[in-house]
């Protein structure tokens, strides 16, 4: 019998908007179920994207033992929201709708040992969990390096003209890597950071989808008390790899990959919420052709999938589509990234460095050519480079700052796909990832430590 089984632990999970946030929450839920925890999932209605609602449905059918509690968001008064990004508006709507969570959590039976919620909800949830004496944890859905920056942010913001964030224990984060919205005052994203960053010490703990072999520096700094005084313990339970319930039909893509030689295909995807400009999309297409490599390219035209309406011919251009025939496969729907990265034919990944993508590439040992677009992605790209998992090109800038030319894209892709050194280092990261979840690995040790803590706290109430 495992510790959790003996203790009948009951944990509720509260994710926030976007697949990038939802995915690690559902993987953590699956892991907790595997360890015999009783799990309640608080599901938000409505979701921003269709992918999210489909994903939650698939999860709930795969795990009938998980209870669902529905949480209905109040409509958001848009004029006061200081953002037009649908996912940020989703965060804000959840923050402002938090009140009904109180009776909802209080009514759960048996009483909760912990609530694990999203980082974007800290200020709204802490007063509720404090009043109800429920231990509060966040699942931080990005890198430990980003968590360090988030926890340090209020200190950085008061020295806002520094050319880098010099966080104790960490390689400095240059100003150019900091999410651009955080350098402009008074927008929704920056306001959430400002309000929530000083409150991290009020949490009982932070759960993170990372591991020593990928982020030794940041994890040591965080848990060594260097980053900010009074931070709670950071439980690195990663890598949380893709689960069975996430599988989507992708027979055509896998069949195509089956016909390609080992390590010959570059997989290109910028995640679930990056819409590329038409100009940049066409340059990427030209770059892929110039690279001479085979490719599997996921094209995305709109931030939110509900709005995708145009066909590939319109988005990519008919001529380019003709030219890609034979060398590559271009798709425009949600793909089973885990299955693609696992395929023996895939030898490299052009990625925006969203954290889930980085973790999945690490899990499968696929080298990354990072091309960060928004938010935390340059900070994650620094992790990719420092760990040896891949490379990134700083001069390409943020999305929409410049249109990177096909010639250069093709050259860098060739460089990544041809690098024996990168391949070896990425294979080393994969080995570390497997060790972390193996017998006696850090994932299990940290999870047991978390279970012990949940048990102790509950006895103290
Ligand atoms: C391709 O990879 C597979 C699986 O890793 C391996 O079994 C096979 O021998 C490889 N083929 C060649 C030609 O190297």
> What is the pLDDT, as a whole number, of residue 160?
66
- Binned at pLDDT 50, 70 and 90, residue 291 comes out as very high
266 and 220, same structural domain? no
Residue 112 CA to residue 457 CA, distance in Å, equals 11
> What is the pLDDT, as a whole number, of residue 361?
98
> What is the pLDDT, as a whole number, of residue 159?
72
**SS3 of 141-161:** CCCHHHHHHHHHHHHHHCCCC
Atom of ligand 1 nearest to the CA of 262: 1
Q: For the chain, what is the mean pLDDT?
A: 90
How confident is the model over 115-129, as a mean pLDDT?
A: 95
| Total number of domains in the chain | 2
Q: How far is the CA of 342 from the centre of ligand 1 (A)?
A: 13
Would you state the torsion angle of the CA atoms of residues 145, 119, 211, 218, taken in this order, to the nearest 10 degrees?
A: 20
- Binned at pLDDT 50, 70 and 90, residue 308 comes out as low
Q: Residues 6 or more apart from 234 whose CB is under 8 A from it? A: 140, 144, 147, 205, 206, 207, 208, 219, 222, 223
- Binned at pLDDT 50, 70 and 90, residue 300 comes out as confident
Three-state DSSP class for residue 293: coil
How confident is the model over 279-308, as a mean pLDDT?
A: 84
Is any ligand 1 atom within 6 A of the Cβ of residue 262?
A: yes
289 and 422, same structural domain? yes
Is any ligand 1 atom within 6 A of the Cβ of residue 176?
A: no
Candidate of 260, 343, 344, 427 to mutate for ligand 1, largest count of ligand atoms within 8 Å of Cβ: 344
456 and 428, same structural domain? no
119 and 161, same structural domain? yes
How confident is the model over 155-179, as a mean pLDDT?
A: 89
179 and 322, same structural domain? no
Based on the residue annotation, tell me whether 21 is a catalytic residue of this protein. yes
Domain that holds residue 343: 250-434
Q: Which helix (H) or strand (E) holds 349?
A: strand 346-351
Exposed e or buried b per residue across 75-92, where buried means at least 16 C-beta atoms within 10 angstroms of its C-beta: ebeeeebebebbbbbbbb
- Binned at pLDDT 50, 70 and 90, residue 171 comes out as very high
How confident is the model over 80-107, as a mean pLDDT?
A: 84
Is any ligand 1 atom within 6 A of the Cβ of residue 344?
A: yes
> What is the pLDDT, as a whole number, of residue 304?
57
Is any ligand 1 atom within 6 A of the Cβ of residue 72?
A: no
The pLDDT > 70 percentage for the chain reads 95
Residue 23 CA to residue 220 CA, distance in Å, equals 26
Q: How far is the CA of 258 from the centre of ligand 1 (A)?
A: 11
> What is the pLDDT, as a whole number, of residue 89?
80
- Binned at pLDDT 50, 70 and 90, residue 6 comes out as low
The sign of the CA dihedral 188, 190, 128, 42 is positive
Candidate of 258, 262, 343, 365 to mutate for ligand 1, largest count of ligand atoms within 8 Å of Cβ: 262
Residue 104 CA to residue 16 CA, distance in Å, equals 17
Is any ligand 1 atom within 6 A of the Cβ of residue 247?
A: no
269 and 230, same structural domain? no
> What is the pLDDT, as a whole number, of residue 335?
83
192 and 255, same structural domain? no
Strands 294-298 and 328-331: parallel
- Binned at pLDDT 50, 70 and 90, residue 3 comes out as low
Q: How far is the CA of 146 from the centre of ligand 1 (A)?
A: 37
Domain of 232: which CATH number?
3.40.50.2000
Quick: pLDDT tens for 315-325: 777 777 777 77
220 and 192, same structural domain? yes
60 and 8, same structural domain? yes
Rounded to whole angstroms, the maximal C-alpha distance in the chain is 68
Tell me which residue has its CA closest to atom 5 in ligand 1. Answer: 344
444 and 427, same structural domain? no
Cβ atoms of 13 and 39 within 8 Å: the answer is yes
Q: Is the pLDDT of residue 41 over 60?
A: yes
Q: Is the pLDDT of residue 305 over 80?
A: no
Q: How far is the CA of 99 from the centre of ligand 1 (A)?
A: 56
137 and 282, same structural domain? no
For residue 1, count CB atoms less than 10 angstroms from its CB and return exposed for 0-12, middle for 13-18, buried for 19 or more: exposed
154 and 294, same structural domain? no
Based on the residue annotation, tell me whether 118 is a catalytic residue of this protein. yes
Q: Is the pLDDT of residue 436 over 70?
A: yes
Tell me which residue has its CA closest to atom 4 in ligand 1. Answer: 344
The pLDDT > 90 percentage for the chain reads 68
């Amino acid at each position: 019998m495992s510790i959790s089984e003996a203790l009948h632990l009951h944990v509720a999970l509260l994710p926030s908007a976007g697949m990038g946030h939802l995915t690690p929450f559902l993987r953590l839920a699956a892991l907790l179920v595997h360890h015999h925890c009783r799990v309640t999932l608080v599901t938000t209605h409505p979701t921003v994207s269709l992918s999210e609602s489909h994903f939650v449905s698939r999860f709930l059918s795969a795990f009938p033992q998980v209870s669902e509690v529905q949480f209905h968001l109040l409509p958001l008064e848009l004029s006061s929201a200081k953002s037009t990004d649908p996912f940020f508006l989703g965060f804000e709507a959840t923050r402002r709708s938090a009140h009904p969570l109180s009776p909802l959590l209080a009514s759960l039976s048996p009483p909760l040992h912990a609530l694990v919620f999203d980082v974007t909800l800290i200020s709204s949830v802490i007063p509720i969990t404090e009043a109800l004496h429920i231990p509060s944890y966040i699942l931080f859905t990005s890198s430990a390096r980003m968590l360090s920056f988030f926890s340090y942010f209020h200190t950085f913001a008061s020295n806002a003209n520094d050319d880098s964030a010099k966080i104790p224990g960490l390689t400095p984060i240059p100003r150019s890597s900091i999410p651009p919205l955080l350098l402009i005052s008074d927008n929704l994203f920056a306001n959430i950071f400002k309000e929530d960053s000083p409150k991290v010490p009020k949490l009982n703990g932070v759960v993170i989808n990372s591991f020593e072999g990928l982020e030794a520096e940041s994890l040591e700094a965080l848990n060594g008390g260097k980053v900010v005084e009074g931070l709670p313990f950071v439980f690195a339970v990663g890598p949380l790899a893709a689960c069975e319930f996430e599988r989507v039909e992708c027979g055509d893509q896998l069949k195509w990959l089956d016909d390609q030689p080992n390590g010959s295909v570059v997989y290109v995807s910028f995640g679930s919420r990056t819409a590329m400009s038409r100009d940049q999309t066409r340059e990427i297409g030209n770059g892929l052709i110039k690279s001479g490599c085979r490719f599997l390219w996921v094209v995305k035209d709109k931030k939110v999938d509900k709005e995708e309406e145009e066909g590939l011919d319109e988005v990519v251009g008919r001529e380019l589509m003709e030219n890609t025939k034979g060398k590559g496969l271009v798709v425009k729907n949600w793909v089973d990234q885990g299955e693609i990265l696992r395929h023996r034919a895939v030898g490299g990944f052009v990625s925006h460095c969203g954290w889930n993508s980085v973790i999945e590439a690490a899990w499968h040992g696929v080298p990354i050519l990072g091309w960060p677009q928004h938010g935390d992605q340059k900070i994650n790209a620094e992790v990719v480079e420092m760990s040896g998992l891949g490379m990134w090109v700083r001069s390409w800038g943020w999305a929409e700052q410049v249109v990177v030319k096909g010639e250069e894209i093709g050259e860098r892709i060739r460089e990544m796909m041809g690098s024996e050194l990168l391949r070896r280092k990425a294979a080393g990261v994969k080995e570390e990832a497997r060790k972390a979840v193996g017998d006696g690995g850090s994932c299990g040790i940290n999870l047991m430590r978390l279970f012990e803590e949940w048990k102790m706290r509950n006895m103290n109430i």
